[in-house]
Amino acid sequence: MILIWFALVATVAGATGWFLGRMFQSRNYVGFSSPIRKGGTGLVNPLLVCARDDVSSINNGVQAVIQKAVNAEIEKGDITASSVYYRRFLDNSWALLNGDETYYPASLNKVPLMIAYYNWVEETDAPLTKNIYFPSGYDDNLQQEVQPQHPILPGRSYTAAELIDAMIKDSDNNATLLLFSSIDQNALGKVFGDLHVPFLAPGQSPVNYMNVSSYAFFFRVLYNGTYLSHADSERVLDLLSQTTFNDGLVAGVPAGITVAHKFGLVSVAPNNTVVTARELHDCGIVYATNQNPYLLCVMTKSTGTLQGAERAIANVSRAVYQYITK
C-alpha cells in the first residue's frame, strides 16, 4: 500500500509507521558470501538459502536487457534511478543492476510480517481464527496516496487470516497495524535474525536503507519452501498472486500469467501539498508460460508522476519477460 511521508523525516503515528518503514537498516549484506542456515540446538541446522550469486552464474543476456530497459526509462524522465534483481530458479542464474543503491521499502515490509505471522502460528499453534477488534479512531489508511479497494471497517472484529488477506491483497495499513500489535514481537524479530536482516527498535528516523538483493531473500525462501512449511509457503504465494496492484510487474507480462508479488510506495510531499519525489517498488515471482519461474525485483526513484514510475517498472518487467520467453 502507498504511504505518503510529508518531508521524509516526518513520523507516521503509532507502531505501523515504525514497522512499515524501519524494519531494515543499511549494513554489509552477507547473504551472498555464505549459505544462510536457520540455526538450532539439536542435530539439524536447516538450510534457508544455499545458492551463491557468484560471477560464474550471472545471466549476461538478462543483465544487458535490464540495463537497456532502465536506461530508456531514465532517459524518458519517468524515473531518476532504479535497482533490479533477477533470479531464474531452475538454474540459479541471476542478474543485478545498481545493487549498492538503497531505498525506502514502505509496504514491501508487509511480506516479512506475513511470513513472521505464519511462522509464529507454526511454532506455537496460535490460531489464525483468533478475532482481533478494530476500534474507531486513528485511520492509518488516510496517509495513503492510493486507498485500499476494500478497507477493513472500524467497529468490527476480524480473524488474523482475514487481516492478512487485507494486508496483502489491498495493502491495508489498518490491518497491518492490528497484526503487528497482536503478534509476539520476539517471533517477528526472529524472522529477521534467521535471514540475517536487522530488526530495528522503534524511534529511528526513516531513511533509504534497503537494497534490492536483501529484499529478494523473502521471496527466495518462499519459493524454495525453506522457512515456512511447504503448505504455508504455497498459501502465502497464492495470496501474493491475488494482490490488487496490477500496474507494475503484472502490467509487463501477458494476461493470465501468474505473478506473486508485493509493491511498496513512499511519496514525499513537503508541507503536505504536491508530491515532489517518489519511490515505487514491485517485487515478486513471475510464473512464465514455459515453466520458467523467475524472481524479479524492481526498485525505483522518481520526481515525476506515479503513472510514470508504474510505467517504468512495467517496461522493465516486459523486457525481461520477452527475453526469457522468446
All domains of the chain, ordered by start, with CATH? 2-325 (3.40.710.10)
Measured between alpha carbons, how far is residue 118 from residues 186, 191, 193 in Å? 14, 11, 16
Q: Are 222 and 236 in contact (CB under 8 A)?
A: yes
* Element counts in the chain: helices (H) and strands (E): 9, 10
DSSP string across 209-261 = -B-HHHHHHHHHHHHHT-SS-HHHHHHHHHHHTT-S--SSTGGGS-TT-EEEE
The predicted structure's pLDDT at residue 205: 64
**Residues of the chain above pLDDT 70, percent:** 85
Q: Are 260 and 285 in contact (CB under 8 A)?
A: yes
| 169-219 pLDDT tens trace | 999 999 999 999 999 888 888 887 888 775 654 555 677 888 999 899 999
| 46-62 pLDDT tens trace | 788 876 688 889 999 99
The predicted structure's pLDDT at residue 53: 81
Distance CA 284, CA 216 (A): 8
Distance CA 160, CA 166 (A): 10
pLDDT at 238 over 90: yes
**Residues of the chain above pLDDT 90, percent:** 61
pLDDT at 4 over 90: no
| 244-290 pLDDT tens trace | 999 999 999 999 999 999 999 999 888 777 889 999 999 999 999 77
| 109-168 pLDDT tens trace | 899 999 999 999 998 888 899 899 999 988 998 878 878 999 999 999 999 999 999 999
Measured between alpha carbons, how far is residue 237 from residues 87, 259, 265, 306 in Å? 17, 9, 21, 26
The predicted structure's pLDDT at residue 199: 61
